[in-house]
A and B are shown apart, each in its own frame.
Chain A
Amino acid sequence: MSRSFLATLALMIVVLAGLPMIAGLFGLVQATLFISMAVLALSQGFIWGYGGIMSFGQSAFFGLGGYAYAIAAIDLGESTLPLALAILVPTLFAALLGYFMFYGRISDAYVGVITLTVTVILFNVANSTAGDAWRIGQAALGGFNGIPSVPPLNVPGQPDNQLSPAALYGVAAVLLVMVYALLRGLLATKFGRVVVAIRENETRAMLLGYDPRLYKTITFAIGGGIAGLAGCLFTNWGGFVSPTVFGLQQAAQVIIFVLLGGLGTLIGPILGAVAVQYLIIAIGTQQTFNANLILGIVLLAFVLLIPRGVLPSLGLLAERIAARPAPDPAPAAVEARP
């Protein structure tokens, strides 16, 4: 385990653990929203910054996770399985979509358009599910209005012991730390190194015997699962889920989280998510035009003002990744494995 990882982890834990002492209940509830956005940003940051997969539709998996949780929680009355489903359903869907895209030699830009299209398809479908005919078990999909009164997470095995908002914050915080740690750990394994290598030069990775299609599909699936988890947290935060989770604005926000926070790191997207979400709230969510206008200007400024563009910056940031304790060529150094 590298020193910078432990330091970042420690800092994260300190901040998250310390927050309840300085923030009131309202602050903790807000923080839960920030955390769900941070987890979503991590999914995008992972597959894009490290995997080189330019997905414009992480909101698709975010929404699938939210809806899967909502429907399952209403139908099953207990929240443990729904939480698992919120991760599994998007993962499977992402694996399928990934297989479809990456084994089809579709170029990078097309990945963006296709994932965008998928999230639009899901948005349209979710929007048109109004009326009683659209039910899964007891859960009415609700069309444009979505699914209200979604039962929050409960202590596993005790359906009546539902989490209070403060406890929900605690769970969300723990999950954020876990996802971050897991991703960092994953990146240090052979799998993670190959994923980064593929992003650096797919041809060379292929010529070294690695199948990029497989690695990309798995990476994309993992990203889907993490986004789904974020969706579950989001649904818990709001107590409801609606088609906007699939929407274009949500999709754009994720990209901005990562761009702003720093493509090519894990902590960057987390910070970007918090900053942007805070910005949106500060301006006031009722006046959506302001959010749109500002998001638009931010995106524009970012793309224009980074003179070498977003992608070459990836290279610079990759150096930062590379500078992290790499496999030490001297045999004396022993890398402790987590």
Chain B
Amino acid sequence: MLAALIGFNVLTSIAELLLLVIGLGMIYGLMRIINLAHGEFLMLGAYATVVSAHAGVNLWVAMLIIAPLFVGLFGLLVERTLIRFLYGRMIDTMLATWGLSLGLIGLVTSIFGTTVRGVSAPLGSFAIGPYNASLYSVFTIIVALLTVLGLFVLLRATKFGLIVRATMQNPEMAAALGVPPGRVYMATFGLGAALTGLAGGVIAPVSGVAPGMGAAYVARAFITVLGGGAATITGSTLASTLFGTIDQVVTFWTTPVFGQVALLLFAVVMIRMLPQGITGRFFRRSI
């Protein structure tokens, strides 16, 4: 039964990490952009959830609809006003998104102050043998699964997905076929942002919501995306599974902080051995 509990916690850890990185993985995997404001997109999703929930909106709607919508639209704005001037300049993009990150933290602090807000996690608990497990974790796992599947279907089976993949591979060709690359980039970035907003909404009930909350997730998210490699979905999934497991196993024996440290250390070592990430070597042709 303890094994079942640990297994469940590992699944939750993987799901949380996956949700955390899938948007970033999309932006990096398809557009090769390192968005250092990722943590703040997350934070915006969390704030969108908390603010609308406190304004009376149903929590599920706030989490699953308002958060991704808000951050997705914001992502579109960011792409049009900032990112699109910096394509091909990786270091400059990193610096600019870092500036954006700082600016957002400053802005949100100005508006909401630094006190931690939150909403309580709904759903309660259930039993795994003699242990208590959170039903909300089950919800998280389901959301993560559905999101990844949905994204896979979107990229693999829809016209939009095909256009996105084609443009990322060869923008000139796509343009020659009548697809405006600029629009595609905008949509992809917006979608990636929306996914991150969703993640922010989902973690809001289990995490304190404060302007600086993103910082706690940024390093972990990045190193997971880099560890995953170029393939958006496969890479993020594999890396999240591997790293999430390590995090949870170490956490079980020590503390969550050391779990994170273990995750980061392992990831750094792994990238040293696989400089292109997991999908740089295995499953190269996957999405």
Contacts and interface: CB of A to CB of B under 8 A. Distances in A.
Contact of A110 (B104, B107, B275): B275
B242 interface: no
13 contacts: A110-B271, A112-B34, A117-B264, A117-B267, A121-B264, A128-B257, A252-B98, A293-B110, A296-B100, A296-B103, A296-B106, A303-B95, A304-B82
Contacts of B114: 288-289
Contacts of A255: 95, 98
Given A252-B98, A300-B100, A117 B91 contact: no
Interface of A: 54, 56, 100-101, 104-110, 112-114, 116-118, 120-121, 124-125, 127-128, 247-249, 252, 255, 259, 288-304, 309-311
Interface stretch (B68-76, B137-145, B219-227): B219-227
B261 interface: yes
A291 B105 CA distance: 10
B99 A110 contact: no
Interface in B88-106: 89-92, 94-96, 98-106
B82 A106 contact: no
B77 interface: no
B160 interface: no
A109 B102 contact: no
A325 to B, nearest CB: 30
A121 B218 contact: no
Interface residues of B, number: 44
A56 B219 CA distance: 12
A187 B80 CA distance: 42
Nearest to B40: A296
Interface in B161-185: none
B243 to A, nearest CB: 12
Contacts of A247: 215
Contact of A311 (B85, B89, B105): B89
A252 to B, nearest CB: 6
Contacts of A291: 106
B268 interface: yes
Interface string B255-273: 1011011001101100111
A204 B34 CA distance: 29
A191 to B, nearest CB: 25
A112 B94 contact: yes
A310 B93 CA distance: 10
A297 B273 CA distance: 37
B228 interface: no
B91 A310 contact: yes
Contacts of A56: 94
B96 A304 contact: yes
Contacts of A105: 275
Closest 5 CB pairs of A and B: A293-B106, A296-B103, A299-B99, A296-B102, A289-B109
B268 to A, nearest CB: 6
Contacts of B25: none
B109 A296 contact: no
A119 to B, nearest CB: 8
B4 interface: no
B211 A299 contact: no
B222 A117 contact: yes
Given A121-B219, A302-B95, 20 more contacts: A56-B94, A104-B275, A106-B275, A108-B91, A112-B91, A117-B219, A117-B267, A127-B257, A128-B257, A249-B102, A289-B114, A289-B211, A292-B103, A292-B109, A296-B101, A296-B104, A303-B92, A310-B95, A311-B89, A311-B91
Contacts of B106: 289-296
Contact of B95 (A125, A249, A259, A289): A259
B223 A113 contact: yes
B267 to A, nearest CB: 8
B35 to A, nearest CB: 12
A291 B223 CA distance: 27
Nearest to A113: B222
Instruction: Among B114, B215, B255, find the residue whose CB has the most chain A CB atoms closer than 10 A.
Output: B215
B86 interface: yes
Contacts of B100: 296, 300
A296 B99 contact: yes
Contacts of A252: 98, 102
Contacts of A127: 257
A84 B130 CA distance: 55
Contacts of B273: 104
Nearest to A301: B99
B242 to A, nearest CB: 16
Contacts of A300: 82, 96, 99-100, 103
Contacts of A116: 219, 222
A85 B199 CA distance: 43
Instruction: Among B104, B110, B219, find the residue whose CB has the most chain A CB atoms closer than 10 A.
Output: B219
A246 B180 CA distance: 43
Given A120-B264, A124-B260, A124-B261, A109 B91 contact: yes
Nearest to B267: A117
B190 to A, nearest CB: 20
Contact of B265 (A108, A109, A121): A121
A283 to B, nearest CB: 11
Contacts of B82: 300, 304
Contacts of B218: 120, 248
Instruction: Among B103, B215, B255, find the residue whose CB has the most chain A CB atoms closer than 10 A.
Output: B103
A121 B106 CA distance: 24
A310 B89 CA distance: 9
A45 B39 CA distance: 27
Contact of A117 (B90, B94, B95, B223): B223
A293 B102 contact: yes
